[in-house]
Structure 1
Amino acid sequence: MKVSVILGHPYKGSFNAAIAYIVTETLESNGHTVMFHDLYNEKFNPSIPPKELVCDVSDDELVTLHQREIREADGIIIIHPNWWGQPPAILKGWIDRVLRENVAYTFPVGDNGGGLPIGLLKAKAGIVFNTSNTPEIRENEIFGDPLQRIWKDCIFDFCGVAVFDRRMFRVVANSSAEQRADWFKEVKSVINKYFPANRVYNNEK
C-alpha cells in the first residue's frame, strides 16, 4: 500500500521527528510505499493565495504534489505537537491548501457547499500521533481535547476516511528514556495493526 506520512514539527531532534522515523521505518519494513513529507524541512508554504482560494487550482508545484499523493494514499499518518489545542500553523496551512474541494471531498450536483460533503479520499485509515505537555485530566476537563474533534470529525470523516486512530504522548517534557521507549513501541504497534506486513488490511479497531 501507499501511505502518506506528514510531519509538522520544526525541530529535527524532536520527539515528533523520532516518531516519524519509527513510522516510516516500520511501514517500509512491512513492505509499504511511504510518501514522507517533513513540512518544515521542505519549506511548505501554508499561506493560501487569493487566486488559489477561489479557483481550487494551485500554481505551487509542491502543493500539487501533495494533492496527487493524498489522492493515491491508501493510508494517511499525521505527526505533530499540540500547540494551543491545534496543529502548528504550517500543518493547518497544509490542510487548507491540500485537502481542497474536488481533491479530498466534493458536494452533490447543485449543492453550493451547505449540504453534506462526499469524501473522496480512498485512504483506508487515518492515524494521528500527537505530543503534549498538558496533563490528560486538564486536557479533557478544561479544554475538551479539541485535536480529537479536529482530526476525527472535521477532517478525516469529512474527507471519507472512516477508520481513525489517534495516540497522544504526554507529558513529554517530564518523560524518561524508559517512557519514551514504551511510546516508540506503541507507535510501532499501531502501525503494525493498521498496516501489517503481507496481509490484507485490517480495519478492526
Structure 2
Amino acid sequence: MKISVILAHPDTSSFNHAIASTAVETLRQAKHEVFFHDLYQENFNPLLPAGEIPRDADLPSAIENHCTEIAEADGIIIIHPNWWGQPPAILKGWVDRVIRPGVAYEFLEGDDGEGVPCGLLKVKTALVFNTSNTETLRERDVFCDPLETIWKNCIFGLCGVHNFHRKMFNIIVTSSEAQRKKWLNEVRQTVMELFPSE
C-alpha cells in the first residue's frame, strides 16, 4: 500500500517526531511505500494564494507533488499537537492547499442547487495521532473534542474516508520516559493493525 505520513511539529526533539519515526519505521517494515513529509522541515508555505483557489489552477510543483501523493495514497497518517483545539497553522495550510477540489472532493449539484459533497480520495484508512497537555475528560466534556470533529467529519468524512481512527496521548509535559515508550508501542501496534503487511 501507499501510505502518506504528514508531521506538523516545529521541534525535532518532540514526542510528535518520535511518533512519526515509529509510524514510518513500522510501515516500512511492513513493506509499504511511504510518502513522508515533515512540514516544518520542508518549510511548507501554509498560505493559500488566491490563484490556487480555482479547481483548475496551475499549482506550484511542491503542491502538485503533495496532491498527487494524496490522490494515490491508500492510507494516511497525520501527527500533530493539539494547539488551542486545532492543528498547527502549517497543517491547516496544508489542508487548504492540498485537500482541494478535484483532488480530495467535489461538489455535485443537488435538486435545490446546493452543492452536495462527494469524496474523491481512494484512501481507505485515516489515522491521526495527537499530543496534548489537556486531560481527556476536560478535552471531551469542556471543549467537545474539536479535533475529532475537524478530522473525522469536516475533512475525512467529506473526502469519502470513513475508516477513521484517532489516538490522543496526554499529558505530554509530565510524561515519563517509561510512559512515552509505552505510548510508542501503542503507535507501533495501531499502525500494524490498521496497515498490515500485504
TM-score, with structure 2 as normaliser: 0.96
Size of the aligned set, in residue pairs, is 198
What displacement does 1:114 show?
Answer: 3.4
Structure 1: which 5+ residue stretches go unaligned? 199-205
How many angstroms apart in 2 are the aligned matches of 1:33 and 1:178?
31
- Cα-to-partner distance string for 1:49-103 (whole Å, 9 max, x where unaligned): 1111235524321111100000000000000000000000000000000001111
Identity %: 56
**Residue 64 of structure 2 aligns with which residue?**
64
Mapped partners of 2:165, 2:100: distance in 1: 22
The aligned counterpart of 1:31 is 31
Counterpart of 2:180 in structure 1 is: 180
What is the CA distance between 1:109 and its match in structure 2? 5.2
CA contact (8 A) 2:2 2:73 kept: yes
Query: Aligned-residue CA RMSD in angstroms?
Result: 1.6
Task: Work out the CA distance in 1 between the residues paired with 2:105 and 2:146.
Answer: 22
Q: Deviating runs (4+, > 6 A) in structure 1? A: 110-113
Q: Is the 8 A contact 1:3 1:32 kept in 2?
A: yes
Tell me what 1:134 maps to.
134
Aligned to 1:8: 8
User: C-alpha offsets along residues 8-67 of structure 1, whole Å, 9 cap, x if unaligned?
Assistant: 001111100010000000000001000000001011110011111235524321111100
Q: C-alpha separation between the residues in 2 aligned to 1:36 and 1:52?
A: 23
3-state DSSP class of the match of 2:115?
Answer: coil
Separation in 1 of the partners of 2:87 and 2:139?
15
TM-score calculated relative to the size of structure 1 = 0.93
Partner of 2:52: 52
- Give the aligned partner of residue 42 of structure 1: 42
Q: 2 CA distance for matches of 1:89 and 1:159?
A: 21
